[in-house]
Structure formats: C-alpha cells, structure tokens
Amino acid sequence: MVRRWLAVAAALVVMVGLGWSPWGRTAFKTTLFVLQILPQVPVRPQEWLAPEPRVREVRFSRPRGEGVADLYEPARPGRKGAILLFLGVNPAGRDDPRVVNLGKALARAGIVTLIPWSEPMAQKRIEPEEVETLVSAFQYLVGLPTVNPRRVGMGGFCVGASFALMAAADPRIRDQVAFVNALSVYFDARDLVVQVASRTRFWDGHAEAWEPDPLTREVLEGHLLSSLSPGEQEGVRKALAGDRGAVEALSPHGRAVLGLLEGPSLAEARALLAQLPPTALEFLRRISPSEYVGALRAQVLIMQDREDALVPFTEARRLAHALDGRVPVRYSEFALFRHVDPARRVGPVRFVGEAWKLFRHLYVILGLAG
C-alpha cells in the first residue's frame, strides 16, 4: 500500500514538471481530480492545491415555473468551461457528500458546475417534461458571465444520463453542447422494461440472466402501475399477493402490467410490452434516447459498470453502437464502479488498471471543459 501511494506521489511530481504545456496541465488537473473522487485513495492533494470553490443555490426560468440548482464555481477569476450534471432518480439528496465532493472537485479543476434538481425524480417519478428543465438549465449556464460558452457540456448518471442525451439533441441548444458524458445510461426504455421484467440482459443476439437492483424494480413497478386506474392498481396488487380471483376483473392493460411484474421470460416480456396501450408505449418512446440520437451534434463519452445491477451494460453498448459514425464516441467499461460510484473493491493490480482507464476517460472531459 505504501509503495502504491509513493508511486502516486512520484507521478504527481512528474505531472507538475509537465504542467507548463497545455496537455500537461490537463493531465495534472485530471490526476488531482481522479485522486479526489476515488474513495479508495486516502490523500486529497486537490484540496491542498486549489482554493475552496464558491457554492450557492440558483434559480432559473423554465416553461413550468422556476427551476432550482446548485452552482459550483472556481475560486479563481476568469471565464471557464462548464458542465451541467443531472443526477436523475437519485436516492441521495443534494447535500450527499458524494454529490458535494464531485461538484467541488470539478470546480477546483476549473469547471463551473451546475446541478439542477428535479422534484419528480427525487420522488422516483420519471417525467418526459424534465428534458425541458435541462434545456432551460443549460441556457442559464451558458449565459453566466463566468462561463466560456464554447466549452460547455452536459453529464448525467443513470436516468439522468439518458435525459442529458435527449436534452443535448434539442435544436435550441444542440449546437452549443460540446460534449455529453453518460454514466450507466439506458438507450431504449422499452428494451429496459423487457430486461428488468424478465431479469435477462441481451446484446447482439445473446441473452443471459441478470438480477436487477430493488430500486430499478421499484421504479418499473411504480410506472407500470401509474398507467392504470386506481381500481386496477389495487387489482394488480391483490393478484401479486396471491389473490387469483382479482385477475378476472382486470382489463387487457391490467393483465399486461401484471404479467410484466410476475417475472416473465424474455419472449413473454416482449409480447406483454406490445400489449400495453398506445399511451404507455408513447411514454416509453418519449423517454428513450434511441429516438433522439440522430439529432445529436456533441461528442459523447460513455462510462459503464460491467456488472451494473440498476441498468444492464447492454444498454450502454447499444448506445455506443448507434452513435458510431454519427458523432465522436468514447466508450469505457469499468470493473471499479458499483453503478455510478467508483467504490467496488478490486485487487491492487486491477485497481491501478481501472484508475488509469478512468484517468484516460476523464482527461478528455477536462480537456474539453477545463
């Protein structure tokens, strides 16, 4: 362990020596940033070398009233690159130490960071209208006097990553978005429903068993049930609890929802999805980045936990495949992450390899926005 951190210190010295060149400065900032966000690392040199950022709550106009966000600004003056981060369905609050540490680490790296908050997402509700919130938040961020409008990107986590992609494709801002970084993203909500319901992930003609996280199952159940009337919701709940008599009173829509929640096979899940009414299928279409990729102009960087239990890695691979040849794409698959947290325990040798992979990915982002 001591040797590992001596090696890190030596690498820092080398980075300082290289800091006179633009790429050397980016490498140095990226090294500090990686050390700051990895929970396995006991030293935080970024906090010693960069002053405490300014953090404040801001409000911005949007079509449905006022939006609320936290703004993290570098302490040093001047116009900086910026990033809008959307956390999506986030069980942690805005004061979560991981969120605050990330916002401050980006600001210390010289990036103005805006984190908008969504009341529906905080309540585990996914609403297509939140794309409008992100478009409005991006326009607010670009207009700040401390921001260089040519170096502004977007990023998101899980559902937030998918919504960031959809917002970045909006014609009002798509030519201004320099990049989108998507961590644990889903590509098509319809495919996601099928994979969660059947507990099977599929990619390129192959399928394998997959156990989704309880949060993913909870969100799916909530959205499927919300498409039913209160009476049918109660009927589905009774049927799931073992009251088979309740099944007889269900509509075809209710039976399709029940079937999806009972753990069908992959083929059965696909058939049940097709039985949902047009309104439910239209909702899934509206929250699917697959419907928007043709309008993207930004460079897209994708990060994915290979063993993600909330969103199968197959979704990120499908996104990368769909974008290939349309826009610049970088795809990085990690063993170090547990969904969106770089906290999975791995051996020392693998840790070094994973940290290097993370450095290379983040170097691109800091080069674009830093």
Contact 343, 313 (CB under 8 A): no
Contact 76, 63 (CB under 8 A): no
| Whole-number pLDDT of residue 42 | 85
Taking the C-alpha atoms of residue 106 and residue 111, their distance in angstroms, rounded to an integer, is 5
**Secondary structure class of 217 (helix, strand, coil):** helix
Place 138 in a pLDDT band, splitting at 50, 70 and 90: very high
What mean pLDDT comes out for the span 82-108?
89
| Whole-number pLDDT of residue 2 | 47
pTM: 0.91
Place 14 in a pLDDT band, splitting at 50, 70 and 90: low
- Single out the residue of 45, 95, 100 nearest to residue 72, CA to CA: 100
Place 11 in a pLDDT band, splitting at 50, 70 and 90: low
Phi then psi for 297, rounded to 5 degrees? Answer: -120, -20
| Whole-number pLDDT of residue 244 | 82
Taking the C-alpha atoms of residue 200 and residue 60, their distance in angstroms, rounded to an integer, is 41
* Weakest mean pLDDT among 43-52, 100-109, 337-346, 352-361: 337-346
* Weakest mean pLDDT among 3-7, 68-72, 116-120: 3-7
| Whole-number pLDDT of residue 1 | 52
Contact 210, 196 (CB under 8 A): no
Burial profile 279-313: b = 16 or more Cβ within 10 angstroms, e = fewer: ebeebbeebbbbebbeebebbbbbbbbeebebbbb
CB neighbours of residue 225 within 10 Å = 18
Taking the C-alpha atoms of residue 23 and residue 206, their distance in angstroms, rounded to an integer, is 41
> Can you say whether the dihedral through the CA atoms of 138, 172, 128, 62 is positive or negative?
positive
9 has pLDDT over 70: no
| Whole-number pLDDT of residue 88 | 84
What mean pLDDT comes out for the span 178-193?
97
Taking the C-alpha atoms of residue 98 and residue 109, their distance in angstroms, rounded to an integer, is 16
Please tell me the CATH superfamily of domain 7-188+288-369, with its number. Alpha/Beta hydrolase fold, catalytic domain (3.40.50.1820)
What mean pLDDT comes out for the span 244-272?
93
* Weakest mean pLDDT among 30-34, 125-129, 245-249: 245-249
Domain ranges across the chain: 7-188+288-369, 189-285
What is the tens place of the pLDDT at every residue in 283-296?
999 999 999 999 99
